[in-house]
Amino acid sequence: MPKKTTSITPILLVTLVAMVGLFVLSLWFSVVSYRLPFLIPLTVLTTLLTAMVATLPFLYVVRRHPTSLVISMLGTQAAGKTVYVTVLFNQLSIGHVGGMTFSQYGSETVEMVHSNLSRLAEGKWLPSTPPLLLFPFRAIVRMGSGFFKSVYRIEIGDFAGQHMHEFDASSEHWLHKTKYFDYVIQSDIVFLVIDMALIVKADRIKTAQLQNAFKAAFQILLEKKGVQERKKTRTPVAILLMKSDLCGTSSAKALFTRAMPELRDLCQNRCAHFAIFPVSSIGKLGKSNSPPQRLKPVGVVEPLAWALRSVEL
Ligand X SMILES: Nc1nc2c(ncn2[C@@H]2O[C@H](COP(=O)(O)OP(=O)(O)O)[C@@H](O)[C@H]2O)c(=O)[nH]1
> Should residue 245 be labelled a site residue for ligand X when binding is judged by CB under 6 A?
yes
User: What CA–CA distance (Å, rounded) separates 278 from 86?
Assistant: 17
Cα–Cα distance list, 160 to 10, 76, 271, 304 (Å): 47, 8, 26, 21
Least distance from Mg ion to the Cβ atom of residue 82, Å: 3
- Report the candidate in 82, 124, 130, 78 with the shortest Cα–Cα distance to residue 281: 82
Pick between residue 82 and residue 211 the one whose CB is nearest to Mg ion. Answer: 82
User: What CA–CA distance (Å, rounded) separates 68 from 143?
Assistant: 14
Pick between residue 64 and residue 243 the one whose CB is nearest to ligand X. Answer: 243
> Should residue 243 be labelled a site residue for ligand X when binding is judged by CB under 6 A?
yes
Least distance from Mg ion to the Cβ atom of residue 124, Å: 14
> Should residue 119 be labelled a site residue for ligand X when binding is judged by CB under 6 A?
no
Near ligand X by CB under 6 A: residue from 285, 292, 299, 302? 285
Scan residues 73-112 and list those touching ligand X (CB under 6 A). 77-83
Query: Which partner in Mg ion, ligand X, none is near 63 (CB below 5 to 8 A by kind)?
Result: none
> Should residue 126 be labelled a site residue for ligand X when binding is judged by CB under 6 A?
yes
User: What CA–CA distance (Å, rounded) separates 44 from 231?
Assistant: 40
Least distance from ligand X to the Cβ atom of residue 269, Å: 27
User: What CA–CA distance (Å, rounded) separates 255 from 11?
Assistant: 53
User: What CA–CA distance (Å, rounded) separates 261 from 210?
Assistant: 12
The length of the chain in residues reads 313
> Should residue 270 be labelled a site residue for ligand X when binding is judged by CB under 6 A?
no
Least distance from Mg ion to the Cβ atom of residue 208, Å: 25
Amino acid at 134: L
> Should residue 129 be labelled a site residue for Mg ion when binding is judged by CB under 5 A?
yes
Pick between residue 50 and residue 86 the one whose CB is nearest to ligand X. Answer: 86
Pick between residue 2 and residue 299 the one whose CB is nearest to ligand X. Answer: 299
For residues 156 and 136, is the Cβ–Cβ distance under 8 A? Answer: yes
> Should residue 210 be labelled a site residue for ligand X when binding is judged by CB under 6 A?
no
Rg of the Cα atoms in the chain: 25
Cα of first residue to Cα of last residue in the chain, in angstroms, is 26
For residue 271, the SS3 value is: strand
Least distance from Mg ion to the Cβ atom of residue 86, Å: 10
For residue 260, the SS3 value is: coil
How many chain residues bind ligand X (CB under 6 A)?
19
Least distance from Mg ion to the Cβ atom of residue 6, Å: 36
Near ligand X by CB under 6 A: residue from 161, 236, 278, 303? 161
- Sort 291 into a burial class: Cβ within 10 Å, 0-12 / 13-18 / 19+: buried
User: What CA–CA distance (Å, rounded) separates 291 from 279?
Assistant: 15
How many chain residues bind Mg ion (CB under 5 A)?
2
- Interacting residues of 276 by C-beta distance below 8 A, sequence separation 6+: 238, 239, 241, 253, 256, 257, 264
Pick between residue 282 and residue 307 the one whose CB is nearest to ligand X. Answer: 282
Near Mg ion by CB under 5 A: residue from 82, 104, 211, 244? 82
Query: Which partner in Mg ion, ligand X, none is near 303 (CB below 5 to 8 A by kind)?
Result: none
Report the interface residues with Mg ion, using CB under 5 A: 82, 129
Footprint of ligand X on this chain (CB under 6 A)? 77-83, 125-126, 128-129, 161, 243, 245-246, 280-282, 285
